[in-house]
């Protein structure tokens, strides 16, 4: 017979008597699962982009540890650099995305996950556009959606913060 172990936590939002026996399931909304799923989707997006950069390294002969190709040494430098930069920009934005969606999702899990999904799709479009070798394409294919989504997540996170104060 299998048994389930649940971690007991203390929440400052609950009175001491309510804390007794409180589990993670009691403290995090059930719908937060959607936020977690979007985090996992972003992992797969990041893995896809990393594989594209790795393939481009081989195809355009850009050896490690060089982060970017030099145009003076490689005729495909711009194409490789656009692929690399598309991935790099997504990595630069990832902590902001994770923080805003993770915290905002505690109070508004469905809204945060929906906006987060739009962000992930926008990042994919951004990367595909950037990977064409023309940096201006990063916004033409819908990549700008991710920037709008970040502002939405900032709003959700701000709502959570304000709610904690009142």
Structural domains of the chain, with CATH: 1-28 (no CATH), 31-165 (1.20.120.550)
What is the structure's pLDDT at 14? 56
99: tokens are 């923080």
CB 57 within 8 A of CB 74: no
pLDDT of residue 132: 94
pLDDT < 70 regions, the chain: 1-22
User: According to the model, what pLDDT value does residue 25 have?
Assistant: 75
What pLDDT is attached to residue 24?
Answer: 75
CA distance 18 to 21: 8
Per-residue DSSP letter, 20: T
Question: What is the pTM assigned to this prediction?
Answer: 0.84
């Amino acid at each position: 017979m299998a048994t389930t172990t649940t971690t007991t936590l203390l929440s400052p939002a609950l009175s001491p008597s309510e804390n007794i026996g409180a589990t993670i399931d009691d403290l995090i909304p059930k719908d937060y699962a959607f936020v977690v799923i979007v985090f996992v989707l972003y992992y797969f997006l990041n893995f896809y982009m990393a594989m594209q950069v790795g393939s481009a390294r081989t195809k355009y002969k850009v050896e490690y540890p060089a982060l970017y190709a030099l145009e003076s040494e490689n005729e495909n430098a711009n194409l490789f650099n656009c692929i690399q930069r598309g991935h790099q920009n997504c990595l630069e934005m990832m902590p902001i995305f994770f923080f805003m969606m993770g915290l905002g999702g505690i109070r508004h899990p469905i809204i945060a996950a929906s906006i987060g999904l739009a962000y992930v799709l926008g990042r994919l479009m951004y990367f595909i556009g950037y990977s064409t070798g023309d940096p201006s394409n990063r916004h033409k294919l819908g990549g700008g959606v991710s920037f709008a989504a970040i502002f939405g997540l900032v709003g959700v996170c701000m709502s959570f913060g304000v709610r904690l104060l009142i």
